[in-house]
Structure 1
Amino acid sequence: MDSLVDIVARLGGSAQAAQLLQLTTERKLRAAVQCGELERVARGQYALPSLGPHRLAALAYDGVASHVSAAHLWGLPLLAQPEKPHVTVPINRRVRRGRPAVLHWAPITSDERLARTTTLLQTVIDCARILPFGEALAVADAALRTGQLSLTELENAATGMRGFGRPLALQVAAAATPLAESFLESVFRGVLISAGITDFEPQVIVYDSAGFVARVDLGSRPIRLALEVEGYEFHGGPTAFAADCRRYDDLVAAGWLVLRFTYQQIFGDPAWVIDTVRAAVSLRTRSGALGPEAPRVETAADWAA
């Protein structure tokens, strides 16, 4: 006979007591809970612990994981994991006290209820309601990068929003792009946009007369200024370090000024980052960085085409 774990797994990870008692006894059900094979998430509702805290909380409140919890389940990048699960329950639902969770009230579709999490589009919109702009932009960029969400869908959803968070969601939709390649790059772009610096494009490809030079995280074509973001990891060894140095030397030789910013600087001293970028923009603008023989520059989107 199949174990209770196998039975519940076949039922999608959770089951009502009435379903299980048709296949086992109360004693065995209690034993499965006591040994941690199953978890009682609500009265008459049991689930596999492997569903994780976000879906278990959704089951406990008969809702769906949402906002940053849904972002976590979709594999979207977050600065920090949620301290408590975020759960959306149907409008006008009165809930009893239960396990710790941040509750929201909104309409829920049948597909969301089946998956016990909000759709990718709704997740992006919800995150735009509650996260700082740069972090919300990183979530939106990553969602677009999956190919499961289009920019048009995101823009339409933001336009159709009502209530709290709509201005930020519109700003996120206007700035989001699938070209951004990392969480830190998206947050950095958000810092710049918030400061009114909007002339930098993500993943700009630079050529000189001999051909391809490099692809930079953020680039301003008119003044040939590149902004690069550096995470925690270093270059992995002397070969990678030498290649990195050559890349930056090639960019300088092609007429580009390159600024590099670390995770700690972007999050710890954003005012200095903004001042430095503004100073570099001013310097390049005054010097007339783009001459008549400027190298060809493309974005990653141009390159793919």
Structure 2
Amino acid sequence: MYELAILARGGVLLTVWAVAAGWPRGRLARRLRRDGWQGICRGAWAVPGKEVDWRVRATALQLLRPELVCSHGTAARLHRIELLSGAVAPAFLDFTAPATSRSTHDALIRIRSTSSLTDKDCAIRRGLRVTTPARTVGDLIRSCGSREEAVVAADSALARRAVGGVRREPLVRYEDLAAELAVPRPGGPRARAWLCLTEPASGSPAESVARLRIRDAALFPESQPLLRTAEGRALRPDFLFREAGLAVEVEGYAFHGTRRAHERDVARFNELQSCPEVRRVLRFTARDVFSRPDHVIATIRSALTAMRAPAPK
């Protein structure tokens, strides 16, 4: 019989592999438990000492059921597409499978059946079979419960960003998303309307939501315009009301990656004020945007009114 560690792939061992190699089922289970192997799910084990995180679980499930394709929230994590839930680990693993695939009774797995998933819709990402970025964002937008969730996901995929400490290029073009959403599927009309609200220049989920809130208030600043400081350094404020000279910045390290990145954003405050186009800078936290949107809008309106009023004689 082969040693169990030799049979494992990527730190995962399937019971069927060990049985096929000659291990009796009863003796196998006792040996695995004695040696510290960890049960991932029925029929799959992780090598001793390996952290059984969501990727290991997804790997085991795909080894057990090759027809499963990581999709929706799980695909977003693999592609480093930010979601409105931020860094909160999802409770479920999301998969898409052919309509003929068998169902599952695992409460921590969501499997969506489809007859429209082709090889062109799939890719390999970080060792897992996953829906492409365009299909992933299309699925997310079509199934999103809110406009904010949809736009945050699309903005992230369209943007050049640092996500989870990894800087990546844009994952998809607007034209690719438009083509994906043109395919007749449930949720398509609403998804196409939300796609029109995206902005590839958006820098974070909080900024995407702030832009939507500001638009809802019938205010239309420029997003990420190119400005230059007095020393000639290029800067892009999150929003600029050019006529009034009001720049608006959305801060918050939770959505900018790290505390150091947050500190760099704060340091931009003084530099922004040296730009000729800027007379005043307003700064809001991500918590302001998500929890106090009325306060954000009222503050912006008040500043615009004060800056546009004629100076007293």
| TM-score past 0.5 threshold | yes
Provide the C-alpha distance between the structure 2 equivalents of 1:38 and 1:108, rounded to a whole number of angstroms.
33
Deviations 1:20-40 (A, max 9, x none): 434351356425653563646
Higher helix share: 1
Gaps of 5+ in 2: 47-51, 161-168
Q: Give identity over the alignment, percent.
A: 25
Shift of 1:120: 1.4
| SS of corresponding position for 2:170 | coil
Q: Which residue of 1 aligns with 2:117?
A: 108
Instruction: Please state if 1:137 is matched with 2:113.
Output: no
Instruction: Please state if 1:71 is matched with 2:76.
Output: yes
Mean alpha-carbon deviation: is it higher for 147-156 or for 268-277? 268-277
Alignment TM-score, normalising by the size of structure 1: 0.72
Instruction: Please state if 1:23 is matched with 2:21.
Output: yes
Provide the C-alpha distance between the structure 2 equivalents of 1:167 and 1:161, rounded to a whole number of angstroms.
9
Provide the C-alpha distance between the structure 2 equivalents of 1:141 and 1:134, rounded to a whole number of angstroms.
10
Structure 2 counterpart of 1:4, which letter?
L
Deviations 1:184-240 (A, max 9, x none): 2223223334x154623332122378744632112233443321011047986xx96
Question: Quick one: structure 1 residues 215 and 89, their matched pair in 2 at CA, closer, same or farther if it must change by over 3 Å?
Answer: same
Shift of 1:157: 1.2
1:1-305 equivalent positions in 2, closer than 5 A:
3-9=3-9, 17=16, 19-26=17-24, 29-31=28-30, 33-34=32-33, 37=37, 39=39, 41-42=41-42, 45-46=43-44, 48=46, 49=52, 51-56=55-60, 62-78=67-83, 79=85, 80-106=88-114, 107-110=116-119, 112=122, 115-128=128-141, 129-144=143-158, 145=160, 146-164=169-187, 166-193=188-215, 195=216, 197=218, 199-207=220-228, 211-212=232-233, 214-232=235-253, 243-251=267-275, 254-282=277-305
Report the RMSD for the aligned CA atoms in angstroms.
3.8
Alignment TM-score, normalising by the size of structure 2: 0.71
Shift of 1:70: 1.7
Structure 2 counterpart of 1:188, which letter?
A
Provide the C-alpha distance between the structure 2 equivalents of 1:223 and 1:100, rounded to a whole number of angstroms.
51
Contact 1:192 1:274 in 2 (8 A): yes
Question: Quick one: structure 1 residues 74 and 255, their matched pair in 2 at CA, closer, same or farther if it must change by over 3 Å?
Answer: closer
Question: Quick one: structure 1 residues 208 and 186, their matched pair in 2 at CA, closer, same or farther if it must change by over 3 Å?
Answer: same
Structure 1 counterpart of 2:118, which letter?
T
Structure 1 counterpart of 2:295, which letter?
W
Shift of 1:265: 0.8
Shift of 1:60: 6.3
Question: Quick one: structure 1 residues 223 and 4, their matched pair in 2 at CA, closer, same or farther if it must change by over 3 Å?
Answer: farther
Gaps of 5+ in 1: 288-305
Mean alpha-carbon deviation: is it higher for 26-35 or for 259-268? 26-35
Deviations 1:157-193 (A, max 9, x none): 12324213x2442244223343222232223223334
Q: Which residue of 1 aligns with 2:166?
A: none
Structure 2 counterpart of 1:126, which letter?
D
Question: Quick one: structure 1 residues 64 and 32, their matched pair in 2 at CA, closer, same or farther if it must change by over 3 Å?
Answer: farther
Structure 2 counterpart of 1:214, which letter?
L
Question: Quick one: structure 1 residues 96 and 206, their matched pair in 2 at CA, closer, same or farther if it must change by over 3 Å?
Answer: closer
Shift of 1:266: 0.7
Contact 2:92 2:109 in 1 (8 A): yes
Mean alpha-carbon deviation: is it higher for 276-285 or for 140-149? 276-285
Provide the C-alpha distance between the structure 1 equivalents of 2:131 and 2:245, rounded to a whole number of angstroms.
42
Structure 1 counterpart of 2:90, which letter?
P
Contact 1:266 1:273 in 2 (8 A): yes
Question: Quick one: structure 1 residues 232 and 58, their matched pair in 2 at CA, closer, same or farther if it must change by over 3 Å?
Answer: same
| SS of corresponding position for 2:226 | strand
